[in-house]
Amino acid sequence: MMINCSAPLSLIQHFLGSPVCASELGETLGPLNATAREYFKALVLTLALEWPVYFLFLRKYWKGSRLTLAVVVINLLTHPAVWFFWPWVLSSGFFQGQVSFGAYVAIAETFAPTVEALALWKMGIPFRRAVWAAICANLCSWGVGAWIG
């Protein structure tokens, strides 16, 4: 099925799982055609939603500013990739610019907790705790983000 890449993308199309032109995603700022201001707001919202989850899982290991710094660092490893790198990858080469939003979400939301869990583990958090913390934090931020649009 060919997608008209000049047609504007709507949030409703994304969440209904209809096909998305990934080349259009890659040419804009983020997967939802966000402006720089919208991207920054999404990053701040992600940090605000994930920090309490990470606090619940990691308070035994880190306190205060160390925990906050860790949450910021791991999100800076993954958030830009979810918004910029994956849309670019999915718009080129083998994919030829055509991928469903559901596939994009599956790839991006598998990538983010995997990288975050590995980063936490490398920072000294036990592997199982790092994995559960990253999965729960990302489910929380993705769920709320999908809900509020």
List per-block mean pLDDT (blocks of 10 residues) for the chain, which spans 149 residues: 38 40 45 71 93 96 92 94 82 72 85 97 97 96 84
Q: Flag whether 44 is in a domain.
A: yes
Does residue 91 lie within any of the structural domains? yes
> To 5 degrees, how large is the angle CA 51–CA 119–CA 72?
35
Does some domain include residue 102?
yes
Question: 65 lies in a domain?
Answer: yes
Query: Is 82 exposed, middle or buried, given 0-12, 13-18 or 19+ CB atoms closer than 10 A?
Result: buried
Q: What pLDDT shows up at residue 92?
A: 72
Q: Tell me, yes or no, whether 10 lies in a domain.
A: no
Give the amino acid at 30.
G
Q: Please state, as a whole number, how many other Cβ atoms lie within 10 Å of the Cβ of residue 42.
A: 19
Give the domain range for residue 56: 18-148
Model's pTM, two decimal places?
0.74
Q: For the chain, what is the domain count?
A: 1
Assigned domain for 54 exists: yes
Q: What is the pLDDT of residue 6?
A: 38
**Residue 37: inside a domain:** yes
Is 8 a domain residue?
A: no
Quote the pLDDT of residue 52.
Answer: 96
